[in-house]
Amino acid sequence: MSKSDLTAAEAIRTRRSIKSFKSDPIPEPILQELLSLMQDAPSSWNFQPTRVVLIRSKEQKEALAAAAWGQKQILEAPVTFVFAVSIRGWEKHMDEILKTGVSSGAWPQKFADWIRENAPGFQKGLGDKQREYAIKDAMIMATTLAIAAESKGYSNCYINGWDEAKVKEIIGAKDDANVAIALVLPIGVASNHPKHPGRLSPSKTIFTDRLPSPAV
C-alpha cells in the first residue's frame, strides 16, 4: 500500500460508476498489484471458480463493447476485466487447493479431509445453483478489485448489460456450458466524476432480526 492510497472507507465513498475514461494507461506495477489484491478475494470452500480475462486490444474492446450494446466505457478504458466462472473447475483443482491449505498451515489435515468428504456432495446437491454460487464468488472478486482500484485512483463501472453468449464467444468459451459470465468491469482514469445518485433511505433497506412482511 502506498501512502497516497485511499483507505477502504474512502474508496467506497469516492467510487462512482464511470461512463467515460481518459486514455491514460494503468502503469504495469499498479496493474500487477491490483491483480494480486483481486486474487486474494475469498470464495466458497476456497474453490476459486472465477476466471478473469483482461481485455486490452482494440479489436477485443470493440467486440466486447458491441456485445454490451455499445457501452463506450469498454472502448475507452485501458483495461476491461471480464469476470467469468468455471462452474465445475473445483473438480480439477480441489486436490491442489486442499494440499495448499494444509501445507500453508492454515488448515489442519482433518479439516481438509472433511472438505474432501463433504464439498463434492454439497456442490452436486446445488444442481443448477452451482452456477449461481460460482457467480457469487466472481462478484466478490470483482468488488474486491473495484475497491482496490478506486483506492489507487483508478475508477470503474460495474457492467451487467451484455449478451452472455457473445461475451463467452469473445473470450474463447463459445458453447462451453461450464463457463458463465458474472460481470464486465472497465477500469481506468475517470474523465469526469459524476454526482452520487442517492440511495433509498436505510429504513427501507436495513432491518434488525427480520424483514417486514411482505418484504418490499
Ligand X SMILES: Cc1cc2nc3c(=O)[nH]c(=O)nc-3n(C[C@H](O)[C@H](O)[C@H](O)COP(=O)(O)O)c2cc1C
Q: Is the CB of 108 or the CB of 161 nearer to ligand X? A: 161
Between CA 43 and CA 37 the distance in angstroms is 14
How many CB atoms lie under 10 A from the CB of residue 97? 19
16 makes contact with ligand X (CB under 6 A): yes
Write the binding mask 43 to 82 for ligand X: x where contact by CB under 6 A, - elsewhere.
----------------------------x-----------
Whether residue 118 contacts residue 94, with contact meaning beta carbons closer than 8 Å, is answered with no
135-174: contacts with ligand X (CB under 6 A) = 157-161
SS3 of residue 165 by DSSP: helix
Please report how many Cα atoms fall inside a 13 Å half-sphere around the Cα of residue 212, on the Cβ side. 7
Smallest distance from ligand X to CB 182, Å? 9
Matching residue, cell 463434492: 120
Smallest distance from ligand X to CB 128, Å? 21
At residue 166, what is the residue type? K
Please identify the residue of the shown chain whose CB is closest to the bound ligand X.
161
Task: Give residues in contact with ligand X (CB under 6 A).
Answer: 16-17, 19, 71, 157-161, 197
